[in-house]
Chains A and B, each alone.
Chain A
Amino acid sequence: MSTSTEEVKYKANDFKSEAEPRWCPGCEDYAILKAVQTAMAKIGRPKNEHAVVSGIGCSSRFPYYMSTYGFHTIHGRPLPVATGLKVSNPELAVWVVTGDGDGISIGGNHLIHALRRNCDLNILLFNNRIYGLTKGQYSPTSTKGMVNKTAPYGTIEDPVDPVGLAVESGATFIAQTSASYVKELVDVLVEAYNHKGTSFVHIYQNCYIYNNGAFDGFTDREIRDDNNIKVEHGKPLVFGKELNKGLTMGYGKFDIVEFEAGNVPDSVLVYDETDPILVRMISDMKFPEHPVPMGIIKRVQAPTFEESVHSQIQTAKEKFKPDLKKLIGSGETWEVK
């Protein structure tokens, strides 16, 4: 079904609908929209072969701004809808757009089960650590103590760690990036698409109105290189503006070592996205003690849910010829004359 990329070149604008986005000025959802459209152009499949399924929330308006197939569902439920769609139409590229409220709070149960089920879905979780569409209540990822409409004295709950949740749920592809890192985001989205199985992409996304600057501590241009670490399979875990810091194996956690730029010591670990221990340790890192990991944190191969569903159907067909007349007339029968 897929059209050869040599024949057709797509532009990001080919995936843009005529509807004008209605997000607030300054919202980083615009950047993610552009990145998804750019990634789809790079992927090189026609728009009819993509479907974008969303829940409820600011981010979930996403499908209206795409020229692909789209389904704006109900709060918390885009994942099972997308799973049903993918099982029904396995040839489609199915994208799920959800947020911290939609995906982790009201739809949290579905997230756990979608991640362990490994249906070939690309889940984009926009995390702005706030409820935006309902005007500023705390979300399950809001930092403890944050003051907002429903917590005038500060929130008293510890936040969920989305990447940790994904690791624990057995996701086969986990990436983390920021809406402000457009190029990296596009690359991650293309890799998420290429991964066969559930891809979980956690995207830090600034809400300009209700939680502005939530991620400045590690995404601000001036300081981000010292507070992010780019994780890349087969590359040493090195970070810092001068690339003069690295991660070494400590007691149950990473130690940070400093060195002269360009002279990476052997003790600095080389990242392996398939190594469960490294994956766990990277996802366990807490900012600001450790830098925030950006990039593809985990990627392993496993059979997808829809493949397994259809292969069981195939096996059943080989074992039992699907003969409905025979089935209905099976068991003890008798003739009445």
Chain B
Amino acid sequence: MSVEKQINEVDTITVKFAGDSGDGIQLTGDQFGNTTAIAGNDFATFPDFPSEIRAPLGTTYGVSSYQIQFAAKDIYTPGDTPEVLVCFNPAALKVNLGIVNKGGLIIVNEDEFTDKNLKKAGFETNPLDPDDDTLRDYRVHKIKITTLTLESLSEMEMGHGDKLRCKNFLALGVVSWLFSRPLEPIENFLKSKFGKKPQILEANMKVLHAGFNICDTMEIFPIMYKVPPAKLEPGTYRNINGALATSYGLLAAAEKIKLPIVFSGYPITPASEILHTLAALKQFNVAAIQTEDEIAAVTMALGAAYGGSLGITGSSGPGLALKVEAINLAVMTELPLIIFDFMRSGISTGMPTKTEQGDLLMSLFGRPSDSHLIVLAPSSAQDCFWISVEAVRLATKYMTPVIVLSEGFLINSSEPWKIPNLDDIPEMESGFRTDPNGFLPYKRNKETLARDWVRIGTPGLEHTIGGLEKTNETGQITQDPENHDLMTRLRYEKTQKVANDIPELEIMGDKDADLLLVGWGSTLGSMRASMEAVASQGKKVAMINIRHLNPLPKNLGDILRSFKKVAVIELNLGHLNMLIRSKFLIDTAFLGRVTGQPIAVTEMIDFINKELETIKEH
């Protein structure tokens, strides 16, 4: 029955799946992402879900979605506006209608467009009615996903609810056909997931194939799409998200420094992912401990760092607030505590599953007194791996806490990752002191100003540390005024010394440009995409992404001063912007958004063009 289909070859496309939180949207997205990876495309994903686990069915606030952009070329973002939207219900259509490209393809589960569901979603008329104008600008394909799922399982003896749960795989079959994808990777996934539940395996397989086959036989779509493989650097690749990359980076660092990990955390969205991951990887000498509260989490990690292990904790804004006093104890006792903050939309409880970059100033300055520590920020899902390694290296070498400002967006988003050769990562030294001769607890290494790390239990090195001010070198408690001034300066200088030990910033884009874009963290992707889009129109733009936020890279000042105009872009109302203006005494332009979402590339392009115009005018 199969007829020749027209294949439309495109170099980049954005697809979004949307439905109820319980529809299996994230799983569908993940699986589609996986086949995308295997098809050799470059890609970036953006899972976006409500904080309710199962919000009431059919409501707009309960809509969960998964967006993926994939391409035959390098891409940096999950895309602004989808060309293809797969809607599992009217609410998903309602929420996403505004963002789909005009002329885009909308696939809907027709079964769900009942009067009741339409009303819940806030539609006054049925957008699927032939005389309704709502979807006039789009190519709409109605598929009875629910009915087809049930029909293809009619001979299977299983509960109605269990059958319905398979419907996301029907959609996956449809989309696989649409993008000329083999079903094998999805089948492999199903086999590994449901190997012990043969009935569920069989049902999902049937439904998956049913979805694929109806496209083949029923001519639902006039065309198929094909996105040729991207030209990536040669090597072995896998799909990675920030949660796994963070955890793997910690394991790699622990292996390089030959120390066990004590990771203590308290459940909090979205940081719990790291605790989940590490709890399942105990074989790598990981004690992953769920504590009674955020304060216990940070202090337990601190106790482990004191003992001579890698003491690590992770949290998000509300948890970081609770950890502040203990972090200051780590600053005062000069112990290598590592704190991950997976920033989420605040303030207070805010929007827990949404992303933001609002904790920069808190990490830098949000502790009582003159308290300084190292602050790092990964710029992509895969960079989470390298930032973990860097955090361990710097914390142990400089005997200071390190805050890693990661983001909710990075934890969940995934991209292709060229698997690194672990042998290329340099070995690290714990440098534990064992020699009692001349030992003083606060005597410092001349180069780094770090005090000695002593594994507690070592004979001859007994000493007491604590939060009280201590005499330089001897560590005896004292309130001597000049000593306190000296110690405060030493603790500050120590963190500043790190600037000699971190890579200088590299300018991306056109070094001769007049405009420099400055960002940090996850905005790297959208900034780069925007910069390249503007550059493709013959305009000159440059950019930097700052991974070391304290201390800042040594060449930052020179770079900033070598451009006519500097524009800072971040997901807050101006944290880095304030820092740059006050530290380097330069004027800046600023784009800040706090929508809980990454900044759209189109919005950035408008901003860049506007700034380029103002330079011209002057």
Q: How far is the CA of A335 from the CA of B229 in the complex (A)?
A: 12
Q: Determine which of A17, A48, A316, A320 lies in contact with B457 in the assembled complex, contact meaning CB atoms within 8 Å.
A: A48
B605 at the interface (CB under 8 A from A): no
Interface centre among A87, A309, A331 (most CB of B within 10 A): A87
B159 at the interface (CB under 8 A from A): no
Q: How far is the CA of A52 from the CA of B251 in the complex (A)?
A: 30
Q: Is the CB of A81 within 8 A of B306?
A: yes
Residues from chain A with Cβ under 8 Å of B306 in the complex: 71, 81, 84-85, 88
* 5 pairs of residues in contact across A and B, judged by CB atoms under 8 Å: A70-B466, A80-B297, A87-B307, A88-B287, A113-B291
B300 at the interface (CB under 8 A from A): yes
Q: Is the CB of A336 within 8 A of B40?
A: yes
- Tell me the chain B residues, 271-315 only, with Cβ under 8 Å from chain A: 281-287, 289, 291-293, 295-297, 299-309, 311
Q: Is the CB of A91 within 8 A of B457?
A: yes
Q: How far is the CA of A322 from the CA of B258 in the complex (A)?
A: 13
Q: Is the CB of A334 within 8 A of B283?
A: no
Q: Is the CB of A72 within 8 A of B303?
A: no
Q: Determine which of A63, A84, A310 lies in contact with B299 in the assembled complex, contact meaning CB atoms within 8 Å.
A: A84
Q: Determine which of A74, A312, A317, A333 lies in contact with B236 in the assembled complex, contact meaning CB atoms within 8 Å.
A: A333
Please give the distance in Å from A7's CB to the nearest CB on chain B.
Answer: 15
Interface centre among B283, B284, B303, B420 (most CB of A within 10 A): B303
A167 at the interface (CB under 8 A from B): no
Q: A113-B292, A337-B234 are in contact. Are A80 and B248 (CB under 8 A)?
A: no
B477 at the interface (CB under 8 A from A): yes
Interface centre among A80, A83, A110 (most CB of B within 10 A): A80
Interface string of A295-337 (1 = CB under 8 A from B): 0000000000000011011011101111011011111111111
A69 at the interface (CB under 8 A from B): yes
Q: How far is the CA of A321 from the CA of B447 in the complex (A)?
A: 39
Q: A69-B463, A84-B307 are in contact. Are A332 and B248 (CB under 8 A)?
A: no
Q: Is the CB of B252 within 8 A of A324?
A: yes
A207 at the interface (CB under 8 A from B): no
Q: How far is the CA of A319 from the CA of B188 in the complex (A)?
A: 23
Q: Is the CB of A81 within 8 A of B303?
A: yes
Q: Is the CB of B457 within 8 A of A328?
A: no
Please give the distance in Å from A175's CB to the nearest CB on chain B.
Answer: 24
Q: Determine which of A85, A109, A312 lies in contact with B304 in the assembled complex, contact meaning CB atoms within 8 Å.
A: A85
* Chain A residue, CB-CB nearest to B297: A80
Residues from chain B with Cβ under 8 Å of A56 in the complex: 467
Residues from chain B with Cβ under 8 Å of A319 in the complex: 283
Please give the distance in Å from B259's CB to the nearest CB on chain A.
Answer: 9
The 4 closest A-B pairs by CB, nearest first: A84-B303, A72-B466, A88-B307, A70-B464
Q: Is the CB of A72 within 8 A of B419?
A: no
* Chain A residue, CB-CB nearest to B259: A88
Q: Is the CB of B239 within 8 A of A331?
A: yes
Q: Is the CB of B286 within 8 A of A313?
A: yes
- Tell me the chain B residues, 469-520 only, with Cβ under 8 Å from chain A: 476-477
B255 at the interface (CB under 8 A from A): yes
Q: Is the CB of A110 within 8 A of B467?
A: no
Q: A71-B465, A320-B283 are in contact. Are A334 and B38 (CB under 8 A)?
A: yes
Q: Is the CB of B283 within 8 A of A69?
A: no
Q: Is the CB of A325 within 8 A of B422?
A: yes
B198 at the interface (CB under 8 A from A): no
Residues from chain A with Cβ under 8 Å of B464 in the complex: 17, 52, 63-64, 66, 69-72
B232 at the interface (CB under 8 A from A): yes
Q: Is the CB of B422 within 8 A of A328?
A: yes
Q: Determine which of A72, A110, A332 lies in contact with B465 in the assembled complex, contact meaning CB atoms within 8 Å.
A: A72
Q: Is the CB of B237 within 8 A of A74?
A: no
A77 at the interface (CB under 8 A from B): yes
Q: A69-B462, A113-B292 are in contact. Are A332 and B239 (CB under 8 A)?
A: yes
A89 at the interface (CB under 8 A from B): yes
- Tell me the chain A residues, 51-90 only, with Cβ under 8 Å from chain B: 51-53, 56, 63-64, 66-74, 76-77, 79-89
Residues from chain A with Cβ under 8 Å of B291 in the complex: 80, 113
Q: Is the CB of A328 within 8 A of B303?
A: no
Interface residues of B (CB under 8 A from A): 34, 37-38, 40, 185, 188, 229, 232-239, 248, 251-252, 255, 260, 262, 264, 281-287, 289, 291-293, 295-297, 299-309, 311, 325-326, 329, 333, 418-420, 422, 455-468, 476-477
Q: Is the CB of B299 within 8 A of A312?
A: no
Q: How far is the CA of A37 from the CA of B539 in the complex (A)?
A: 76
Q: Is the CB of B459 within 8 A of A46?
A: yes
Q: Determine which of B234, B236, B289, B295 lies in contact with A77 in the assembled complex, contact meaning CB atoms within 8 Å.
A: B295
Please give the distance in Å from A53's CB to the nearest CB on chain B.
Answer: 7
Q: Determine which of A92, A309, A330, A333 lies in contact with B237 in the assembled complex, contact meaning CB atoms within 8 Å.
A: A333
Q: Is the CB of B303 within 8 A of A88?
A: yes
A290 at the interface (CB under 8 A from B): no
Q: Is the CB of A72 within 8 A of B468?
A: yes
A224 at the interface (CB under 8 A from B): no
Q: How far is the CA of A87 from the CA of B283 in the complex (A)?
A: 16
Q: Is the CB of B457 within 8 A of A334?
A: no
Residues from chain A with Cβ under 8 Å of B297 in the complex: 80
Tally chain A residues at the interface, Cβ within 8 Å: 65
Q: How far is the CA of A86 from the CA of B309 in the complex (A)?
A: 11
Q: How far is the CA of A88 from the CA of B285 in the complex (A)?
A: 11
Residues from chain B with Cβ under 8 Å of A1 in the complex: 457
Q: Determine which of B188, B325, B456, B459 lies in contact with A51 in the assembled complex, contact meaning CB atoms within 8 Å.
A: B456
Residues from chain A with Cβ under 8 Å of B233 in the complex: 336
Q: How far is the CA of A333 from the CA of B239 in the complex (A)?
A: 7
Please give the distance in Å from B321's CB to the nearest CB on chain A.
Answer: 15
Residues from chain A with Cβ under 8 Å of B422 in the complex: 324-325, 328
A49 at the interface (CB under 8 A from B): yes
Q: Is the CB of B304 within 8 A of A84?
A: yes
Q: How far is the CA of A63 from the CA of B40 in the complex (A)?
A: 60
Q: Determine which of B37, B285, B477 lies in contact with A322 in the assembled complex, contact meaning CB atoms within 8 Å.
A: B285
Q: A48-B461, A71-B465 are in contact. Are A81 and B299 (CB under 8 A)?
A: yes
Q: Is the CB of A73 within 8 A of B457?
A: no
Residues from chain B with Cβ under 8 Å of A64 in the complex: 464, 466, 477
Q: Is the CB of A334 within 8 A of B37?
A: yes
Q: How far is the CA of A246 from the CA of B353 in the complex (A)?
A: 63
Q: Determine which of A88, A315, A329 lies in contact with B308 in the assembled complex, contact meaning CB atoms within 8 Å.
A: A88
Q: How far is the CA of A36 from the CA of B287 in the complex (A)?
A: 31
Residues from chain B with Cβ under 8 Å of A48 in the complex: 457-462
Please give the distance in Å from A157's CB to the nearest CB on chain B.
Answer: 23
A253 at the interface (CB under 8 A from B): no
Residues from chain A with Cβ under 8 Å of B38 in the complex: 332, 334
Q: How far is the CA of A178 from the CA of B185 in the complex (A)?
A: 69
Q: How far is the CA of A79 from the CA of B300 in the complex (A)?
A: 8
Q: Determine which of B293, B311, B456 lies in contact with A69 in the assembled complex, contact meaning CB atoms within 8 Å.
A: B456
Q: Is the CB of B419 within 8 A of A328?
A: yes
Q: Is the CB of B303 within 8 A of A82?
A: yes
* Chain B residue, CB-CB nearest to A337: B234
Q: Is the CB of A88 within 8 A of B466?
A: no
18 further contact pairs, Cβ within 8 A, besides A87-B262, A334-B237: A17-B464, A67-B462, A73-B466, A80-B303, A81-B299, A82-B303, A88-B303, A109-B293, A316-B282, A327-B251, A328-B238, A329-B238, A332-B38, A333-B237, A334-B40, A335-B237, A336-B229, A336-B236
Residues from chain A with Cβ under 8 Å of B284 in the complex: 322, 324, 327
* Chain B residue, CB-CB nearest to A116: B292
Residues from chain B with Cβ under 8 Å of A337 in the complex: 234
Residues from chain B with Cβ under 8 Å of A322 in the complex: 283-285
Residues from chain A with Cβ under 8 Å of B293 in the complex: 109
A47 at the interface (CB under 8 A from B): yes
Q: Determine which of B238, B307, B461, B467 lies in contact with A74 in the assembled complex, contact meaning CB atoms within 8 Å.
A: B467
Interface centre among A66, A73, A91 (most CB of B within 10 A): A73
Please give the distance in Å from B322's CB to the nearest CB on chain A.
Answer: 11
Q: How far is the CA of A336 from the CA of B464 in the complex (A)?
A: 55
Q: Is the CB of B283 within 8 A of A84?
A: no
Residues from chain B with Cβ under 8 Å of A330 in the complex: 238
Q: How far is the CA of A113 from the CA of B264 in the complex (A)?
A: 14
Q: How far is the CA of A85 from the CA of B454 in the complex (A)?
A: 13
Interface centre among A73, A81, A112, A331 (most CB of B within 10 A): A81
Q: Is the CB of A336 within 8 A of B234?
A: yes
